[in-house]
Amino acid sequence: MKKDIQITPVEGVYIAAVKEYNKEFQMDDWNTYIINENNYPLETVLIVSKGFDGNKITSTFRHNLKLLPAKSYAKVELLQPDLFEINNEFSVSFFSEKGFLHQNFLFPKQSIKESKRTELPVMKEKGILAK
């Protein structure tokens, strides 16, 4: 039965961490974004995030987007600097023209650093892509 299940790989969808200036608090924040580089929209996007490392486990956050248009992005959540010391996982599920798709994205501990920023797709910003 397992051999009959077809898992379509997710392509053109990313989770990124972007360092941005927060005018209200006059400091830099790291925010996570979901990016859709595809030429089709993503519908009913569900994002579940959590941090973990051994016995350290954060609260689980759930986010919902009804629609993420083609070639667009949306802010998911703020990442507190304390979370950089643990693994941060984002579980993403959505519907598209390819059906129902799912993928887990991971920022390994200590991977969110200014020195690791690169050019991001669609956003035209520098940031870090989750693996």
pLDDT digits (tens, 9 = 90+) for 25-58: 788 899 999 999 999 999 999 999 999 998 889 9
Give residue-wise pLDDT tens across range 67-81.
999 999 999 999 988
* Rg of the chain (C-alpha set): 15
pTM of the model: 0.90
Q: What is the pLDDT of residue 9?
A: 78
First to last CA, the chain: 29
The pLDDT value recorded for residue 8 is 74
Distance CA 76, CA 34 (A): 7
Going from the C-alpha of 58 to that of each of 14, 31, 42, 93, 102, the distances in angstroms are: 22, 17, 28, 21, 22
Q: Find out whether 45 and 92 touch, Cβ atoms under 8 Å.
A: yes
- pLDDT confidence of residue 73: 97
